Structure 1
Amino acid sequence: MELTTHILTIDDDTTILDAYASILSPYKRTSLEDAIMKLEKLHDIDCSAIDGGEKVIDFHLHQANNGLEGVEIFRREHEAGNRIPVCIVDMRMPNGIDGLETSMRLKEIDPDVNIIIATAYSDRSNKEILECLKSNIFYIRKPFNNEEIYQLVYSLSLSYDATQTIRCLNRDLERRVEEEIQKNRQKDALMLHQAKLAALGEMIGNIAHQWRQPLNIISMLFQKISRHHKNGTLTDEIMAQSLADALQTIQHMSQTIDDFRGQVEPNREKVTYILEDTLKSTINLLEKSFALSGVRIEADISAQIRLYGFPEDIKQVVLNLLNNAKDAILSHGIVEGVIRVDASITDDNRLRLNVCDNGGGIEEEVIDKIFEPYFTTKHKAQGTGIGLYMSRRIVEERLGGTIGASNTPGGACLTLDLPITDLLQG
């Protein structure tokens, strides 16, 4: 296999340049060597030191009599896309610039170029040369050994090509990694959007359940006022009481809207909040619609656990876990469904939050997969498989904790374990 490599030699002595050209010319086997190889091939033997499959580099030589000319050749070839991996530079050149200045200008064009300093005498110390050129600097003394020059140029050429190949592969790898990161970000954004749409659908249904009873109350108040008016028994007292009841009911409906708005458009500023109040407000959003499905929510939360952070994160996670537990209860046909929420501070000062149900539990072969994206045991028309995945993301990335699942007698338990960072116990 033959490779073509550009080499630049710079020396004010033309005899030296001719010597480089002779040394770096392609190796040609003699007629005797060719005859020996043919004889070996004919008799199927392999005892010769001659390598018929040796990788040969065809050195394409560029020559310059001074540093300025050499730099110009190097620049021209570099701009044309012909990389020159090795330059042999004489240190003492009386006309123009010396070898050190020449090498510095070459490295400005290609920092990876290998510089071979060829000199018998130098006005510069090795330390000064190294400090100026930093790396990829090699030395040969005049008069030089022909084989030493060939092997050095050969090795440095291969090393340069390998370095460029690795860099190209790394750039390609970085590009692919960045593409995958962008794809994952887009996927996460899509999943978050789907989760919000699913949550919004749940909330609209819960609003309908929450408002059904208040609307019935207001309707009965109007009927009461209308009946008393027709009978002529509408007194100021009855009117004032009916108005007070109506206003109280409307206030309750308005508070419900505020609670749901907090779920859809959460406040992104950290605040100090009481965990019990936050969890109970979340439960209040769901308990009426759950009751219509035959599911009861019970809460046992240590009083006055105060947290500092984003209460909407806890609300979103608990909301997902409650809805998931209700679906499990209904899918297993449990007549009297119960979901129990409890929160406490552990002995090692961590917040432990459990959401447990009597919905039949989780099959052991899938219990380790329930937090994976798009994994669901429900019919595809009933679940997207992103609720628990988004819950895990919130717990791990925003709350700095962990979430796990385990089976209990008759059901399953989802457990949040949160660190005491930003946590206060009142």
Structure 2
Amino acid sequence: MDELGRQIAISKKDLPTLSDTTMVREALDVDKGQCQRCGSLFSQEKHFLPNGNYYCVACLQFGRLTNEDVLLSKEDNDYQQRKVCFDWQGTFTPPQQEIADSLLKNNKKKQHSLVWAVTGSGKTEMIFPIIQQVLSIGGRVGITSPRIDVCRELFPRIQQAFPEENALLLYGNSEEKYRYNKLTVCTTHQLFHFYHAFDLLIVDEIDAFPYEGNQQLRFAVRQARKPEGLYVYLTATPSQSLLAEIQETFAIMKLPIRYHQRPLIVPEVYWYEHWASCYQRKWKLKKLLRLLNELLQDNAVLVFCPSIAYMKKLYAAVKAYFPPELIACVSSQDEQRKEKVQAMRDQVYRVLFTTTILERGVTFEKVSVIIMGANHPIYTKSALVQIAGRVDRKGEFNGGRVVFFLNQQTPAIRMACQEIKEMNKLAKRWRTNAL
């Protein structure tokens, strides 16, 4: 078996050719009617092939599994202590240092951890010490997120901090194929290919779509961790269900202060009666154009849209009023998604229309944010808080603003604004107590 450290599916008839396999599992548990790769249930009455074999319909995108297949995995139990090259030139604030130290202590105590920290607080940097600790004893570390863009942003920072680890980035169409390594960054979907692989599994943005409420991805996360391994969950917006689920098994650490000590930007809520059809008429579009020109005096602007179809129509209407090279749109369907996001980061674009793919985990300097139709059902409280958190994440304060356009007030909008204000109050108390 040449794929040490993860699991592969193979037909039972090919099994004798593999002499080095340490673990063989039935791909489908026929008695339970459950797939052992994704955890989904299958029906013996519905999910069968012409030859009578059963199969799992839920994870077909990873290759069809039948009751004639097995899952092979070979655990990595090479725990040789070694020196890990750690090259990070930054410094922690006292609150960051406290959380980083707590993660190290929790790791030694074999306790899972949740870091509940506001957007822009430096969550990625706070996990560096525990990564170094696990790697130095020969352990294997996985860093995973439901969002491709989050993984893409995380990976170069991990590479820079651990330059000799030969880290690997995995997602659906990633440039590099799987190879064994000790430090992997991947989307949560890639965890279907791992079984008892990681001594430390860090799940970034654990409340994000599509992970939140997805039982298959939860199963994959459980399977990927070694039985004695640990979880570290990272989020700025944990759900109440998550907090209730982990309260007895996780140490929960809260950080309401951003790295630069400035408060979160409180959203400005503006009524926009015709936001849903504003692209149809110039008089309907004026309100958006006026605000864009106002915000562009100081910053570039991210315009969040509730759907791809709406985004494309709005972008087509607005781009007539701006130089074409300064405005773009991007979504999950865009083949140039990676390049466009980088161009916005490099300040090539002045206006970028986007969907919720950029709601979290990505950092742009000198931006303001507009949410079109903040009352749309797709914008949960967590999504609104995360989008607002794109503003003023780093660098000097530049007057970045967050604007919610809506034509109906919703509980999600009220709760998002309230949570941001409460976090700012808590951060103020923390700063006062530290003086």
TM-score (norm 1): 0.19
* Higher-Rg member (1/2): 1
Greater relative contact order (Cα < 8 A, sep 6+): 2
TM-score (norm 2): 0.18
